[in-house]
Every structure is written in structure tokens, then in C-alpha cells.
Copies of this chain bind each other. A is one copy, B any other.
């Protein structure tokens, strides 16, 4: 594996985003003893910490994020949403992003603007040629946020904001987004639903969250028909299902689309240890998919590949999934082995199962080669 210049976005402020004392995501209901929100800082801070302790950080190019400008956010979001977030962010007790399960504390707007800005920073560095590819370890996540409001622990649509920034400042036109967070990338999809120049592909657990989006027959609208690809995998899907979906749907879809930049909404909540989903992916699958995208990007778009961190609620396992991805992006091997994978990789059902392959086949059948330029 030859080494690449890989950008790395992380900022301590991401760890200061305060999701409060919900039990998981429920606050203020009978029988609910206060605890901590699933979307806590720990999975991210521990990922960042492992990147340093492993020595990998020294092989990466540190990219300092700045807050996204209002102008950046307003390319995607409504002014009403923006002002509401700003206003609530000035309250000592903070507010909610829009759905009652997505709390944030004082100054939460600034953190979220820095998350969008971190994704922008990664995109800029890749487009400027400062680095070959980049990982933006940002928080809060973004892929559930829609134009008018936040939801699912996401305030702003980080990836979508970065895409529109690239359009406005770099003149890029065609983008492909791969979303392997276990939840449906409904926000990104909805923002580009009518946009024939942005391909959004989401691999997710069928019907997990949101309950009513992510169906296989959501394919984009009008001119953009075919630029939305959903692979709603059944619960219990593991490495085999993800690799099959990747090879049989993601790769051909992107190849046919010929994007100028590939972005990944990189959640690790399809991993085996996540409390908010029922999948069994282990780190080597994230590594393999990343390697596949690196190769694809090299073939299609001069290697331009940017990942923006989304969900992943295991403080214990996310660091190892993340390390595998950043190793694959950069081509550096830290020599640190995932200590959990040997226990989990042999579980029955890790191979692709017939009922999983059936979904993948359906998704593949819907790929529309006419969308290619």
C-alpha cells in the first residue's frame, strides 16, 4: 500500500457539544432515570485519541477547521432554521435541533457550525490539492438534518453544506455521496432529491431511523430520477452483506455516475457493538470499503475522497473502526490490531444471507446506467 497524503480534521470543541442527560434519547418521561445521551462525545474523542496514540496522526496532515459561514449554511438550510438554532444556542440551557430527541447546550450552534466547517475544510484541502483525501471527524453529525430543521442528533447537513461550498467556490458540479451510517441518510437525500448532479447512496438498516424513509423505491425526482440509491438491509446484516452491497451497488453506481468528488457520510453504527442498530459489521469491512473507494476515486476523480463522521454509538468499538478507515485512506499501517474482530468475525450470519442478497439484487436492478454522463 503506497502512502497518500490524508487530511485530518478534529477539534476539541466537537467534544464540548452537550447532549445532556437523556436516557439514550428520552428525557423527561415517567420512569426515565437521567443518564447520558447515546450521542455523547466519547466515541469521537476516543477515536481521535487512538489516532494520536497509534502514531497515525503524525502521518496525517492536520487541517484546522473554522466555523462554516452563515452563507455556507444558508445554501442548504432555511434562514428560519439557522436563526432558531442561533437563538436557542444563546440560552444557558440550550435547546433542541428539531425533533425532541436531539438536544444541544449553550453554544451548540458554534459547535455545529464548526462541524459543517470541518467538512468544508476537508473538501477544500482535497480540492486545493493540499492532501489527496481527508477524514473530518466532526460532531454533531449531519446526515439526518433537512433543509428546514435538524433531527436525529444532526443540526446541519454537513456533507450537503460542503458540497454546495465546493460548487460555489470551486465550480465542481457532480458529486457522489456514500452513506454507510446504519441509519438512512434522509437529510442528504432530501436536499438533493431533485438534483441530477448529486448521487446519494445509502446503505442502512431497513426502517430503523427514520421510520418512513430510505425505501428502495426512493430514486430521486424528475431529472434526478436514478440519483438516489437506497439499500435497506435487513436486521442482522454483517460483513458479507455490506461488502456485497458495496461491490454490487455502490461501486457500479458511482462508476456509472462519474463524480468529480466522492464523499462518505461515515457512520460506524452498523458495527457489531452499536446500541442503536442491529448489524454486525467489523472493522475490516470498513477498511475494505474504504480501500474500494480510494481505488474508485483514483480511477474516477483523481483520488478525491472526503469522509465526514456521522453516527456510531459504541465508545468501545468506534475507535477501531475509525482507525481502520484512516489507515486505509492514508495507506499507513499502525500495526494495531482490532482486538474484538477475532471474536466477532466468525459469527454465523457474517456471510451474506439469501434474504440480504435479495435486497441487494433489487437495488442493483434499479441502478440506472442512463444517469451516467
Chain A interface residues (CB < 8 Å from chain B): 11-13, 15-16, 18, 20-21, 23-24, 26-35, 38, 42, 46, 48-50, 52-54, 58, 64, 91-94, 100, 103, 105-107, 205-209, 211, 232, 234-238, 272-276, 278-280, 314-317, 319-320, 323, 334-337, 339-340, 343, 346-349, 353-355
Closest to A236 in B: B236
How far does the alpha carbon of A20 sit from the alpha carbon of B37 in the complex, in Å?
A: 12
Is A28 a contact partner of B273 (Cβ separation < 8 A)? no
Q: Judging by beta carbons under 8 Å apart, are B34 and A235 in contact? A: no
Residue of B nearest to A211 (CB): B346
Query: By CB atoms of chain B within 10 A, which of A209, A273, A278 has the most?
Result: A278
By DSSP majority rule, is chain A's interface helix, strand, loop, or mixed? loop
| Min CB gap A180→B, angstroms | 17
Q: A27 to chain B: which residues have CB within 8 Å?
A: 92-93, 105-106
Each complex incorporates copies of this chain amounting to: 4
A184 CB, min distance to chain B CBs, angstroms: 12
Known: A207-B346, A234-B349. A49 touches B278 (CB 8 A): no
* Residues in B neighbouring A340, C-beta threshold 8 A: 24, 26
Knowing A28-B93, A275-B314, A347-B207 are in contact, say whether A34-B18 is a contact too (CB < 8 A).
Answer: yes
Residues of chain B lying within 8 A (CB to CB) of residue A20: 20-21
Chain B residues with CB under 8 A of A334: 31
